[in-house]
Amino acid sequence: MLIQRFTHTNSDTRFYAVSAVMRIGSEPGVVVPALTSALKDPQVNVRWNALSGLSRFGARARPAVPELLRMLDDPGRVGTDSITQQVQTALWRFAPEKVGKPLVVEDATPMITNGVTAQALKLMFLGKRQTLIPPGRSVPAIAQYWNSDPRPKLTLYQGTRDSEDTDHSLGDFEVLDLAASDNLNVSTLCVVADGQIILCARDNERKVFLEIRRVETGVTK
């Protein structure tokens, strides 16, 4: 009944219907298409709440990505924040490789087989290799490594879960443009999607995306 009111002629009715569904949630197969359709509403507050609702579904909201990408130039605002900022935040939560300054680590990776990860993605942490994304994870797969503690270098490997003998080194990487602050709030994500391994970074305090670069071995940066 609420979704039927998403197309009501009265803007307040549409707003309260979308707001209610945003909070209730329910089956993504029903709600995600409905909220995606509300992204085209003429009222900015309706579009805003539709975005918020989609963000709560995480990866299950990925079918809305094409429409979200078309909204990146939406001129609407709510308070001091723009719709564009809200779109970027939504994409960051369930399709971070589509926004910001993503770095492709490796193309056409053999890590993906039949829609799941066939190998583990590992990182060097405290001198040991630890699994970041395990085999058997549905693709697209997203894992967070840095949060509020950006380290100067990230080393990645790809291989079997329980052995390091056949690991394939993916290289060393670093996040750039970090703010000069003792209270950094930076998230760095690793994404396996579209046959690629991708790194993305965002300064959550400044609401800006950060560049990541590959560190060449033996070269001082």
User: Domain residues for 127?
Assistant: 103-215
Residues 85, 54, single domain; the answer is: yes
* Cross-strand pairs, 112: 117
Give the residue-averaged pLDDT of 27-53.
Answer: 95
pLDDT in tens, 64-107: 999 999 999 899 998 888 999 889 989 998 899 999 899 999 88
CA atoms within 13 Å, Cβ hemisphere of 95? 20
**Residue 218 pLDDT:** 57
Cis preceding-peptide flag for 140 (omega within 30 of 0): yes
- Residue that the structure tokens 């990925």 belong to: 62
Is the pLDDT at 221 greater than 50, yes or no? no
| Domain end (from 94, 115, 146) | 94
Whole-number average pLDDT of the chain? 89
Higher-confidence residue: 163 or 66?
66
- Domain total for the chain? 2
Distance, CA of 26 to CA of 15 (rounded, Å): 18
State whether 64 and 123 are in the same domain: no
Chain segment 131-150, per-residue pLDDT in tens: 999 999 999 999 998 776 65
pLDDT tens across 177-204, in order?
887 776 788 889 999 998 899 999 999 8
Q: 9-33 pLDDT, tens per residue? A: 999 999 999 999 999 978 899 999 9
In this structure, is residue 141 part of a structural domain?
yes
- Asked if the structure places residue 220 within a domain, the reply is no
DSSP of 15-52: HHHHHHHHHH---HHHHHHHHHHHTT-SSHHHHHHHHH
Identify whether residues 147 and 190 lie together within a single domain: yes
Amino acid at residue number 103: L
The yes-or-no verdict on residue 151 having pLDDT over 80 is no
Same-domain pairing of 121 and 202 = yes
| 13 and 80 together in one domain | yes
Model confidence pLDDT, tens digit, residues 202-218: 998 888 999 999 998 75
Contact 197, 158 (CB under 8 A): yes
pLDDT attached to residue 219: 45
Q: Compute CA distances 202 → 11, 211, 221, whole Å.
A: 35, 9, 21
